Amino acid sequence: MGSQNADSGQMNIDEERTVGNYLREGDPDWGWEFRCEDFIFARLDEDRASADKLDSAARQAERDRIGSLRRIAGWHSTYVDQEGRSHARCFTCEPSHGFPCTTLRNLAGLWRAHPDYIPGWTDEGTFLADVFELGGFRRAFLAKARSDA
Ligand SMILES: [Zn+2]
C-alpha cells in the first residue's frame, strides 16, 4: 500500500496493486499528483477573496459557483485512511481514472493561464482512448442513432 513520504511529498509504492501501473518514477505524472488538488484549492481561495469584493448580487452568485467547485474538488481529492495513508486515488472515482482523477485534472484546467498550472493535467488523450475502446459516451451514441435514423 502506498504511503506518503513526508520529506518529498511523493508516494512510496510498496504494492503495485494499490496504484496499478499509473504512478511510477519516470511517468510524466510522477511528482505532481498532489499539487493538482493543492493548486485547485489555492485558486478557489483566491476566487473567494475576489468574490468578497463584489457587490452583493454578484458576490452571492460567485460564492455559489466557488462553493460548487469546492464540493466537486473535495469529492475528488486524495483519499487517505484513518491512519493518514494515502490511497493514491480520489474517494469517488475508480483507480482507472488515474491520479489525480480526470475530474480533478479538468477542474485544474479552469485556471490554465495561471503560472503554476501544469499542462499535463488536462491531457486526457489516454483516458479517452480507453473509453472509446470500451464503448463511448451516451451523447455520441444518441447522436449517431439519430443520424442513422
Ligand atoms: Zn475523482
How many Å lie between the centroid of ligand 1 and the Cα of residue 71? 12
Residues 15-62 have pLDDT tens digits of: 433 444 444 555 554 555 567 888 999 999 999 999 999 999 999 999
Contacts of 86 (CB under 8 A, 6+ apart): 2, 3, 4, 11, 78, 79, 80
How many Å lie between the centroid of ligand 1 and the Cα of residue 147? 33
Please give the mean pLDDT across all residues of the chain.
77
Tell me how far apart the 2 most distant CA atoms of the chain are, in Å: 60
Residues 116-140 have pLDDT tens digits of: 888 878 765 566 677 778 788 888 8
How many Å lie between the centroid of ligand 1 and the Cα of residue 91? 7
How many Å lie between the centroid of ligand 1 and the Cα of residue 122? 14
Instruction: Give the side-chain half-sphere CA count within 13 A for 93.
Output: 21
How many Å lie between the centroid of ligand 1 and the Cα of residue 68? 15
Residue 29 and residue 99: Cα distance in Å, rounded?
8
- What is the share, in percent, of the chain residues with pLDDT greater than 70? 72
Q: Are 3 and 20 in contact, with CB atoms under 8 Å apart?
A: no
Contacts of 120 (CB under 8 A, 6+ apart): 28, 29, 32
What is the DSSP annotation of the chain?
Answer: --EE-TTTSPEE-S-HHHHTTT--TTSTTTT-HHHHHHHHHHHHHHHHHHHTTS-HHHHHHHHHHHHHHHHHHHHTSEEE-TT--EEEEESSS-GGGTTTTHHHHHHHGGGTTSTT--GGGG--HHHHHHHHHH---HHHHHHHHHHH-
Domains of the chain: which residue ranges?
3-122
- List, in sequence order, every residue forming a beta bridge with 4; answer none if it has no partner: 11
Neighbours of ion ligand 1 (CB under 5 A): 76, 90, 92-93, 101, 103
